[in-house]
Structure 1
Amino acid sequence: MPYMETKDAARLYYKDWGSGRPVVFISGWALSSEMWNYQMADLCARGLRCIAYDRRGHGRSDDPGQGYHYDTLADDLAMLLEHLDLRGVMLVAHSMGGGELVRYLSRHGSERIARCVLIGTALPFPLGTEDNPGGFDSSLIEKNRAMWKKDFPRWLQENAAPYFGDGLPGCSVSPEMTEWTKSDMLRTSHKAVLDCNLTLVETDFRPELRNIPLPVLVLHGDSDRSFPVAMSGRIAAQLLPHSRFILYGNAPHGLYITHMERINNDLLAFATE
């Protein structure tokens, strides 16, 4: 089993498929590297080297009970890139993973990175404040967190339909795919679930986004209920100096599944430009 060790001796699992230009996938909140299976299998068959890893406390990685904030998570990503000595990398991040991507560039620079992709991103700042009126009200965030502390499986069940766009044209996801996603999230350390959400919600990336020197492709669904495009993807694209924004019609937060073929084609095209 391929593992690497972080600075605080946590073992992180990763998978490395194919050969060619390297693409490193960073998972969304409470999800492991398994979420990227359908991107990795397709893209490595089309000539790319695809790498994904389990964030600490997720999937097959260790749960050290600490380090679930962006600085440490970004340093974990840096350790992976150094461990595999990757260069010319395309970083692809979903949801919370965008924060790790941006913080990595802020802390470690862009020497190893060629381009980036943000899919259904939570950036730039989810929390509603006086200077960020479009963000989520703190009472809604606390309501969700209170439910997670009592019954995370129930919350997952109740939110599976909007995550996969139930009722949207073209969003047909099997019950088995839904159960697979929920089971992946239920394997995640409960402390990681709570702590990662806290750092996700409370971190303001607006200043850091303005300083990213690389081309960034931003893909977002117009029916994303987890992070509506008007408060996240569209704003992030406006802040990034070298961004390209693509809005997916009738696409939810789980668009890497519901719009799998289109996502894969867009990733391949961007990687090989």
Structure 2
Amino acid sequence: MSMLQVETDSLGRPIELYYEDTGYGPPVVLLHGYPFDHAMWEEQAFALASGGCRVISYDRRGFGQSSKPVDGYNFNRFADDLKAVLETLDLHDVTLVGFSMGAGEAVRYMSRHLGQRVTRLALVSAITPGMSRSKDHPEGEDEAKFDDIATRIRADRFAYIEQFVARLLDGGNCSRATVEWIKSLAVPATRIAMLACVRAFAETDFTGDMAAAINLPALVIHGTEDRIAPFAAHGKRTSDLLPGSIFRPYEGGTHGLFATHGAMLSEDLLGLVRTPPTLTLPPPVF
């Protein structure tokens, strides 16, 4: 079991992240989505490692096998945790891949820590540029939406997980066994972490962070039928804010592309890893 200490709490107790480090070659760091853990990347991690990459994935604080403190659930802290992972493992020329909430972590890292050690970026089913409605983001959700989510988590977080996974896959071609496995990835998360991350979604606007990534080879992948982070409000807007990026809509794809379009996503990520940092990306894989 590999654990990496990122800080200590107010009583001096270590806060540690569980991580897996597999394969040899150019490093790829995978940031998982809410409310799951690193294991959601199973298919992509296998494909990347088999394709000649070193694959690092870890559980966000409060989720999976990582420490579960009572605080620290904000995107600045998550970006700092990512920095600790990259530095402790001494990773360079990193392809950074963020899914959903992980995409927010990735772009916050790019701005907060100047993209150190990262040369390629992929944002999959991204929650960027923000989840809440505002003058600059009229397609976002009202505050009442996040209050309702918090109420449902407090009442019965296991029922909420079941409902969330149903929307995540939305009829995608997944076996019942796979659906049950995906739901199980959310069970180790604490109620504190789940509730605090809902608040982080509601309060964080990533628009100002996006400019930090515009000089990298960047790949934006989004399902056209995404019900959690709708295509126009998130995928298209994220691509527009990264004018040098390649935008790859997955026609008919839902939010859970790691499961419903796993092989296709793996091929696209491998294509990004193999792209020299100064060159344009290869054509889409169909």
TM-score by length of 2: 0.91
Using the alignment, how far apart are the partners of 2:204 and 2:149 within structure 1? Answer: 18
CA contact (8 A) 2:111 2:210 kept: no
2:129 is equivalent to residue 124 of structure 1:
yes
Q: CA deviation at 1:165?
A: 2.5
- Are 2:11 and 1:6 equivalent residues in the alignment? no
**Which one of 3, 28, 39 corresponds to residue 23 of structure 1?**
28
**Deviation (angstroms), 1:82:** 0.5
- Which residue number corresponds to residue 58 of structure 1? 63
Does residue 154 of the first structure (1) align with residue 155 of the second (2)?
Answer: no
Deviation at 1:207, TM superposition (A): 1.4
| Backbone CA RMSD of aligned residues | 1.1
Residue of structure 1 in register with 2:189 after alignment = 188
Contact 1:58 1:187 in 2 (8 A): yes
| Aligned 8 A contact 1:12 1:61 in 2 | yes
Selected match of 1:221 from 199, 220, 223: 223
Distance (whole Å) between structure 2 residues aligned to residue 218 and residue 31 of structure 1: 21
1:141 match? 146
Match of 1:264 in 2: 266
1:91 to 89, 96, 107: 96
CA-CA distance at 1:242 after TM superposition: 2.2
Where 1:210 maps in the other structure, the secondary structure is helix
* Structure 1 residue 267: Cα displacement: 0.5
Read off the aligned partner of 1:202 and give its amino acid letter: E
Residue 139 of structure 1, CA deviation: 1.5
Q: Which runs of 4+ in 1 moved over 3 A?
A: none
Q: Is the 8 Å Cα contact of residues 122 and 232 (structure 1) preserved in structure 2?
A: yes
Work out whether 1:231 is the aligned partner of 2:238.
no
Q: Is the 8 A contact 2:146 2:198 kept in 1?
A: no
Give the Cα–Cα distance (whole angstroms) in 1 for the partners of residues 136 and 47 of structure 2: 42
SS at match of 1:123: coil
Deviations along 1:8-49, one digit per CA (max 9) or x if unpaired, are: 230111000100010000011111101011111121011111
Matched with 1:163 is: 168
Is 2:110–2:212's contact at 8 Å kept on the other side of the alignment? no
Q: Residue 105 of structure 1: SS of its match in structure 2?
A: helix
Q: 1:172 Cα shift?
A: 1.4
Say which is worse superposed, 101-110 or 254-263, in terms of deviation. 101-110
Shift of 1:155: 1.9
CA distance in 2: counterparts of 1:28 and 1:198, whole angstroms: 15
Contact kept in structure 2, 1:218 and 1:233, CA below 8 Å: yes
Identity fraction in percent: 36
SS in 2 for 1:64: coil
Deviations, residues 184-242 of structure 1 (Å, cap 9, x unaligned): 11110111111112112211111111232322100000010000011111101101142
Q: Distance in 2 between matches of 1:205 and 1:158?
A: 27
Structure 1: 5+ residue stretches without partners? none
Give the Cα separation in 2 of the matches to 1:66 and 1:161.
29
Contact 1:221 1:251 in 2 (8 A): yes
Range with bigger deviation, 122-131 or 76-85: 122-131
Offset, 1:102: 1.1
Q: Which runs of 5+ in 2 are unaligned?
A: 9-13, 276-286
1:152 and 1:110 map into 2 onto residues whose CA distance is 35
Deviation at 1:158, TM superposition (A): 2.5
Residue 254 of structure 1 aligns to which amino acid in structure 2? G
SS, match of residue 212 in structure 2:
coil
